[in-house]
Amino acid sequence: MAEKGSPPPYYPELPKDQAADFAARRHRFQKRKDHRQTPYINHPVGVAYILTTEGRVTDPAVLAAAYLHDTVEDTKTTIEEIEAEFGKEVASIVAECTDDKTLHRDVRKALQIERAPRNSMQAKLVKLADKLYNLRDLERGTPVGWDKRRVKEYFKWSKEVIAGCKGTNDALEAALDDVINRNL
């Protein structure tokens, strides 16, 4: 298993490649909520790609966390496992990006708005790219079971979370303003 064993220290791309492999394994049976049932892993891969290409982010901990950001929230993966595999820095970014699914949806959504300003710059980067990916997804198609009102609510709520992440990355924030202005 690629999740175990010591990585060769001379290979600088390793943290994010290892994270991509780990996330692909953990999300392997999950699908997105679109009608075509896109594999879930498309989302974390896309979030990492937004960070490198649009955000010009090179911090390996942020890129590893981008791949891993939904593993704890949406699979049986624990933060302890992430820490053992990827270290404290990556684990703490993933923890900041993880909603407690035992809480009611409304409470989780309110907590994201409330906590956003106090998140680390690294977690804010992942959150901005996560919202950008999801909003572009919503612009392309409506998830199964969602009506127009729910889509609009997601845009409005995202705008509030993003407001708490301002001053983190100009390009990502400008791209988010664009997609939000087109849809609100």
Ligand X SMILES: Nc1nc2c(ncn2[C@@H]2O[C@H](COP(=O)(O)OP(=O)(O)O)[C@@H](OP(=O)(O)OP(=O)(O)O)[C@H]2O)c(=O)[nH]1
Tokens of 161: 């979370």
Contact residue for ligand X among 25, 33, 60, 115 (CB under 6 A):
33
CA gap 44, 88 in Å, rounded = 20
Q: How far is the CB of 42 from Mn ion (least distance, A)?
A: 11
Q: How far is the CB of 8 from ligand X (least distance, A)?
A: 32
- Of 54 and 73, the one with the shorter C-beta distance to ligand X is 73
Task: Note if 34 is an active site residue.
Answer: no
With tokens 């997105």, the residue in question is 32
| Three-state secondary-structure class, residue 166 | coil
Residue 38 dihedral angles phi and psi, to the nearest 5°: -55, 140
**Partner in contact with 154, chosen from ligand X, Mn ion, none, beta carbon below 5 to 8 Å by kind:** ligand X
CA gap 20, 23 in Å, rounded = 5
Which residues form the catalytic set? 73-74
Residues that bind ligand X (CB under 6 A): 32-34, 43, 70, 73, 99, 105, 130, 134, 137-138, 143, 154
